[in-house]
């Protein structure tokens, strides 16, 4: 995502807690460091964290004290409605605005600039940032209320998690029928049963666990399904299919797959091979 912004010619400085990520950014020509103080002159911060707790921890930074240059913080993470609204409320008393803008599209979408961004916030805050956000993908207008971007993302994640879990089950089912999984994948992904998740994650599901690259940790979907469950409970909505999907991801965690690629959900259902393709 930082590379897309950088390649568009927009001024950018990237900060990450990982030395390896900073090195990778530098190799791509992106000014980068591990010191958040290096962002002291930034008018806008684009935040990509994993959890609501990590987001709230940013409030301890001097950058968000109201005394530095930062005037708007764009939350690109999936942290839930309550967390982003709490964060925005605490920023507001410091004279800083928040834009709620979680993204979806996976690593491939980030690399190609084809993410979907669920943007919610004051139009006066979102408007000046549209050109930067558009380098990452397509903006969906989710209204002026911070938190509604997260709500849109909750709907998206109910679908994404369900599609991912079902894709794994379907390919495991093909194996149990004695079919060549690769041929089944190609056939069904081009039919009415196909999905973005099947097309994107299916090739990795066909690989052995030892060969499978890790692009998105399965733990992210464990976190997100819990966020969706909390949102459903708050709305009084009985998310029955989500309950089954959540159990599937929990089982994967119990089997030691939390740090594996999320396509490893297939391994929860994959039995002994019955057909040599």
**Can you give the pLDDT at residue 269?**
81
Tell me whether domains 2-144 and 151-269 share a fold: no
| Rounded-to-integer distance, Cα 213 and Cα 251, Å | 21
Residue that the structure tokens 């690989």 belong to = 207
pLDDT at 66: 84
The stretch 168-181 carries a mean pLDDT of 96
Q: How far apart are CA 146 and CA 142, in angstroms?
A: 9
> What is the model's pLDDT at position 128?
97
Question: Residue 93: pLDDT above 70?
Answer: yes
> pLDDT tens across 28-52, in order?
999 999 999 999 999 999 999 999 9
Give me the architecture of the 2-144 domain, per CATH: 3-Layer(aba) Sandwich (3.40)
CB atoms inside a 10 Å sphere around CB 71: 15
Which pLDDT value is given to residue 149? 98
Residue range 211-237, pLDDT digits in tens: 999 999 999 999 999 999 999 999 999
| pLDDT computed for residue 277 by the predictor | 36
Would you state the pLDDT for residue 68?
A: 86
**pLDDT per residue as tens digits for the range 130-168:** 999 999 999 999 999 999 999 999 999 999 999 999 999
Rounded mean pLDDT of the chain?
A: 95
Structural domain spans, the chain = 2-144, 151-269
- DSSP helix/strand/coil, 103: strand
What is the percentage of the chain residues whose pLDDT exceeds 70?
97
Confidence of residue 276 (pLDDT cuts 50, 70, 90): very low
Residues contacting residue 81 through CB under 8 Å, at least 6 positions apart: 147, 148, 150, 151, 154, 231, 234
Q: How far is CA 274 from CA 173, 181, 187, in A?
A: 11, 11, 19
Structure tokens belonging to residue 64:
């968000």
pLDDT over 70 (residue 274) = no
Query: Where does 151-269 sit in CATH, by number?
Result: 1.10.1040.10
**Angle (deg, nearest 10), helices 218-235 and 240-254:** 150
């Amino acid at each position: 995502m930082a590379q897309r912004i950088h390649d568009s010619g927009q001024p950018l400085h990237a900060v990450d807690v990982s030395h390896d990520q900073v090195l990778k950014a530098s190799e791509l020509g992106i000014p980068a460091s591990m010191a958040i103080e290096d962002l002291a002159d930034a008018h806008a911060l684009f935040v990509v964290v994993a959890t609501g707790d990590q987001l709230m921890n940013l409030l301890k930074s001097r950058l968000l004290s109201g005394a530095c240059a930062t005037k708007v913080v764009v939350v690109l993470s999936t942290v839930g409605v309550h967390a982003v609204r709490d964060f925005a409320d605490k920023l507001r008393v410091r004279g800083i605005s928040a834009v709620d803008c979680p993204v979806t599209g996976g690593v491939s979408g980030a690399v190609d600039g084809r993410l979907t961004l669920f943007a919610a916030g004051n139009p006066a805050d979102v408007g000046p940032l549209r050109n930067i956000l558009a380098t990452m993908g397509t903006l969906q207008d989710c209204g002026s209320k911070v938190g509604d971007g997260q709500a849109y993302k909750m709907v998206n994640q109910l679908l994404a998690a369900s599609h991912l879990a079902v894709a794994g089950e379907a390919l495991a089912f093909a194996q149990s029928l004695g079919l060549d999984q690769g041929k089944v994948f190609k056939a069904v992904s081009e039919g009415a049963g196909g999905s973005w998740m099947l097309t994107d994650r299916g090739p990795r599901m066909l690989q052995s666990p030892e060969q499978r690259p890790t692009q998105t940790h399965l733990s992210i979907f464990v976190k997100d399904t819990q966020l969706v469950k909390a949102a459903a409970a708050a709305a009084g909505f009985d998310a029955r299919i989500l309950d089954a999907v959540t159990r599937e991801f929990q089982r994967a965690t119990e089997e030691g797959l939390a740090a594996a690629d999320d396509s490893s959900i297939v391994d929860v259902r994959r039995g002994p091979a019955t057909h040599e393709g």
